[in-house]
Amino acid sequence: MPTQKYYNLVDQKKDGILRAMGEELLEHSYQEITVSRIIERAGISRASFYSYFKDKEDMLGCIFQRLKEDTSERLLEHVQEEKGDALKGISRFLDYLLEDKRGQSVCRIFHSLHREPECRERMFRMDREWYRKGMFAQYVHRLYECLDPKRYPDIGEELLASMLELAALVIAKTVMFTFFTDRDADRSKIKKTAVMQLAILERGMRERKEVEG
């Protein structure tokens, strides 16, 4: 992971460095990316790069963590802005991924990483750590605290966690079908199907008081 010197940088500087890596991932495979191109895009010296990261793999872990944190926080914000309505919040998050240029870039970067075994394995390891260290449980708790108790009076965090993981599968499938499969696909129909599936999940969450064993 990055050194403390990287974390001590101002946010604008950190964002610029990670953005350079993101732009490279949109244009080249991970194997083709070089530190030379990254530092040229970021406007930093080679010495600075190696004072922040051990190598480009170290930077890869950093950008994956940042993307995961940013998307998680955005979903949380959407639910908050929708006054604790999970369905509306998740639907807005889906709109962000499908319609917003920044969201589309996030999708393409994730897709680029998943195509390459080395990157995919690194992301899986980091995901396992997210669960093992309790970070997913902490996130679920934060999301739970945002929900409208009148709309969701009987659910618990375990049920919410299950709904969130199922919703992630729906979103991932929708993004894949929209951007990375048949270009002639009816995007409006794909999105409509996803919203319907999310609505079914949310209704199930509202109507079931506990997870059946």
Please list the helix, strand and coil fractions of the chain in percent, rounded to the nearest 5, in that order.
75, 0, 25
Tens digit of pLDDT per residue, the chain (213 long)? Answer: 789 998 899 988 988 998 898 898 888 888 888 999 999 999 999 999 999 999 888 888 888 888 888 999 999 999 999 999 999 999 999 999 999 999 999 998 888 888 888 888 888 888 888 899 999 999 999 999 999 999 998 889 999 999 999 999 999 999 988 888 766 668 889 999 999 999 999 998 888 755 454
Please name the helix (run of DSSP H) or strand (run of DSSP E) that holds residue 138, with its range, or none: helix 135-146
Domain interval for residue 107? 59-207
30 within some domain: no
CB atoms within 10 A of CB 27: 12
Would you say the pTM of this structure is higher than 0.95?
no
Q: Is residue 69 part of a domain?
A: yes
Q: Is residue 42 part of a domain?
A: no
CATH number at residue 165: 1.10.357
Q: Which residue has the tokens 């499938």?
A: 173
Half-sphere exposure of 128 (CA within 13 A, CB side): 6
| DSSP string across 44-57 | --HHHHHHH-SSHH
Note whether residue 7 is domain-resident: no
- Among residues 122, 99, 92, the alpha carbon closest in space to that of 110 is found at 122
- Give residue 89's identity as a one-letter amino acid code: G
In the block, residue with structure tokens 């993307």: 67
Residue 199 in any domain: the answer is: yes
Assigned domain for 24 exists:
no
156-183 residues labelled b (16+ CB within 10 A) or e (exposed): eeebbbebbebbeebbeebbebbbeeee
Phi-psi region of 100 (alpha: psi -120 to 50; beta: other; left: phi over 0): beta
| Number of domains within the chain | 1
- Work out the number of other CB atoms within 10 angstroms of the CB of residue 115: 12
Distances (CA, A) of 168 to 6, 91, 163: 31, 12, 9
Does 6 reside within a domain?
no
Task: Look at residue 13 and tell me if it is in a domain.
Answer: no
Q: Which long-range contacts does 199-203 make (Cβ < 8 Å, 24+ apart)?
A: 199/87, 201/163, 201/166, 201/167, 201/170, 202/86, 202/87, 202/90, 202/163
Q: What pLDDT is stored for residue 114 in this prediction?
A: 83
